[in-house]
């Protein structure tokens, strides 16, 4: 990372990566600041907006996450599945389940093996009482990754109660 900044201290992509690293270390405020710097350096950089949306999501700022992921989609008219995955989680946490289902399905249509969109969709299906559909998504998760396990998943969410709620919901869907 230091080498990237030494070569170009105004490299917005380096700040995107730095934000991800801070998030993995549980330093949410620094992660947000790094993504904001990436956006300041490249105001039309859709990936920075999407990554900021994800970090805001993991920081419990769901409404703000929606604002930034939608901005990312406006800047990139043909976004990758990941953008829709982030939107799906933001809609889910703001209890906009119909929109969440649409976003997760769009992510999967764009990238069929985007495993966390399948996981998110299973969780939303449980929340809306669609248990059969949730189990179908769980089957797809294990088809994509037979070794998938909630116990090995590195949750980066700031709120341990929310992590517990997510795990409980996903276990109801059949994930272990």
Residue pair 101/69 in contact (Cβ under 8 Å)? The answer is no
pLDDT higher than threshold 70 for residue 62: yes
Q: What residue ranges define each of the domains in the chain, with the CATH number in brackets? A: 2-173 (1.25.40.10)
The 10s digit of each residue's pLDDT in 87-132 is 999 999 999 999 999 999 999 999 999 999 999 999 999 999 999 9
pLDDT higher than threshold 80 for residue 3: no
Mean pLDDT of 142-159: 88
pLDDT higher than threshold 90 for residue 152: no
| Sign of the dihedral defined by the CA atoms of residues 43, 48, 53, 56, in that order | negative
pLDDT higher than threshold 60 for residue 7: no
Mean pLDDT of 124-141: 98
Determine whether 78 is exposed, middle or buried from the number of CB atoms within 10 Å of its CB (0-12, 13-18, 19+). Answer: exposed
Task: Please report the pLDDT score of residue 104 as a whole number.
Answer: 98
Assign residue 129 a region (left: φ > 0; alpha: ψ between -120 and 50; beta: otherwise). left
Residue pair 69/104 in contact (Cβ under 8 Å)? The answer is no
Mean pLDDT of 69-84: 97
Task: Please report the pLDDT score of residue 144 as a whole number.
Answer: 97
pLDDT higher than threshold 80 for residue 155: no
Mean pLDDT lowest among 16-25, 131-140, 145-154:
145-154
Task: Please report the pLDDT score of residue 2 as a whole number.
Answer: 54
28-41 and 46-58 helices, crossing angle to 10°: 160
Residue pair 28/158 in contact (Cβ under 8 Å)? The answer is yes
Look up residue 150 and give its DSSP letter: G
**pLDDT band, residue 1 (cuts 50/70/90):** low
Which are the contacts of 155, defined by CB distance < 8 A and separation ≥ 6? 163, 166
Task: Please report the pLDDT score of residue 84 as a whole number.
Answer: 98
């Amino acid at each position: 990372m230091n080498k990237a900044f030494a070569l170009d201290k105004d490299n917005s992509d380096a700040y995107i990566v730095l934000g991800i690293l801070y998030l993995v270390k549980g330093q949410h405020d620094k992660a947000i600041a790094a993504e904001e710097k990436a956006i300041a350096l490249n105001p039309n950089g859709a990936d920075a907006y999407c990554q900021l949306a994800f970090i805001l999501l993991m920081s419990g700022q769901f409404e703000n996450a929606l604002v930034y992921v939608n901005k990312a989609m406006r800047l990139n008219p043909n976004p990758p599945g990941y953008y829709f995955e982030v939107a799906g989680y933001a809609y889910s946490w703001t209890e906009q389940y119909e929109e969440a289902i649409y976003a997760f399905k769009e992510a999967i249509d764009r990238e069929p093996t985007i495993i966390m969109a399948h996981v998110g969709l299973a969780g939303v299906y449980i929340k809306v009482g669609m248990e059969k559909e949730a189990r179908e998504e769980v089957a797809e998760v294990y088809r994509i990754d037979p070794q998938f396990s909630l116990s090995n998943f590195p949750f980066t969410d700031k709120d341990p109660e929310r992590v517990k709620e997510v795990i409980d919901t996903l276990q109801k869907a059949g994930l272990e």
